[in-house]
Amino acid sequence: MFFYLSGTTFFTLGLGDVVPLNALGRALVVTEVGTGIIFLAMIIGYLPLLEQAYAQPEVGIQLLESRAGSPKSAVHLLRRFGRPESAEVLAAVLQEAERWAAELSQSHIAHPVLAYYRSQHLGQSWLLSLTTLLDGCALLIVSRKGVPSRQARATFRMAVRVAADLAGILSCPYCEATERLSPEDFPRLRAALESSGLVLPGGTETEAGLKKLRECYEPYVLALSAWLLVPLPAWIPTVEENKDEPDFLTFADFG
């Protein structure tokens, strides 16, 4: 009987065939009516808002995959847009990515639960996209390559802030740093980039500069990776990941 009274009250049905007999019961009924109204308002209003906040960053993730390959990689991104004739296109891509990172920060800080949502496709994640952007911007900054390098600095600052904020919001435990790019792999990275038209300056200064930039964000993305169980993209794509990527095409070729 009490369960029936609670159900008709909570869902605001209000049949009136069972009523409380004392003041305490009436107070509980009024409280439960208010709770039911709030519950229904959340179902109608909050869940669609949460879905919209989830869907908006997903558009940027999809766009980055079409530009940075699948699996995503900074080398793939620069293979497609690293040539001198694609400089303006690359700057536009990075500018769009800067806005995407800002929107990601806004939605995930306002609704931290969104950080745990998985993308609709395998191998995609906001963390993978964010790390790919950071890797690519770091390479452009150390290359000192004109317009894309200037935009890369702005995108890099925004993306680092997003990684730090989200690691703090999720209270990710500190993760021991792992070497994503060892000194032995640096020559291979240079060779992979040179084949796409992006030449890193020689000498230890470039390697030291890249390491310094990596120290700005890798502790955060490594902590997020361990917390969310999402593996980070590799600095140097394997042959299997790279064999189907057309190195000579850019979006400019499609008008």
Phi, psi of 250 (to 5 degrees): -130, 170
What does the alpha-carbon distance between residue 33 and residue 74 come to, in Å, rounded to a whole number?
Answer: 55
For residue 3 the two structure tokens come to: 């369960």
Residue 153 pLDDT: 92
Q: What is the model's pLDDT at position 12?
A: 60
The encoded tokens of residue 38 equal 């709030």
* Residue 202 covered by a domain: yes
Residue 154 is assigned to a structural domain of this protein: yes
Asked if 198 and 79 touch (Cβ cutoff 8 Å), the reply is no
What pLDDT does residue 145 have?
65
For residue 148, pLDDT over 90 is answered with: no
Rounded Cα distance between 124 and 58, Å, is: 9
Select from 119, 155, 116, 165 the least CA-distant residue to 135. Answer: 155
Q: 143 lies in which domain range?
A: 55-249
Q: How many CB atoms lie within 10 A of CB 21?
A: 7
238 assigned to some structural domain? yes
Answer yes or no: is 84 within a domain.
yes
Measured CA to CA, the distance from residue 175 to residue 234 in angstroms comes to 18
- Residue (of 94, 182, 186, 185) closest to 140 by Cα position: 94
Mean pLDDT score of the chain, rounded to an integer? 78
Cα distance between residue 80 and residue 67, in whole Å: 7
What does the DSSP 8-state code read for residue 175?
Answer: -
Asked if residue 25 is part of any domain, the answer here is no
Residue 42 has pLDDT above 80, yes or no: no
Mean pLDDT of 38-59: 72
Choice among 28-32, 60-64, 96-100 with the minimum mean pLDDT: 28-32
Q: How far apart are CA 208 and CA 216, in angstroms?
A: 13
Could you report the per-residue pLDDT of 175-232, keeping only the tens digit for each?
666 678 888 888 888 888 877 667 777 777 888 888 899 999 999 999 999 999 888 8
* Number of domains forming the structure of the chain: 1
User: Residue 28 domain-assigned?
Assistant: no
Q: Report whether the peptide linkage leading into residue 71 is cis, meaning its omega lies within 30 degrees of zero.
A: yes
Is there a domain that residue 47 lies in?
no
Q: Which residues contact 20 (CB under 8 A, 6 or more apart)?
A: 5, 26, 28, 29
In a domain, 32, yes or no: no
188 contacts: CB under 8 Å, gap ≥ 6: 236
Q: What are the tens digits of pLDDT across the range 101-140? A: 998 888 888 888 888 887 777 678 899 999 999 999 999 8
pLDDT at 221: 93
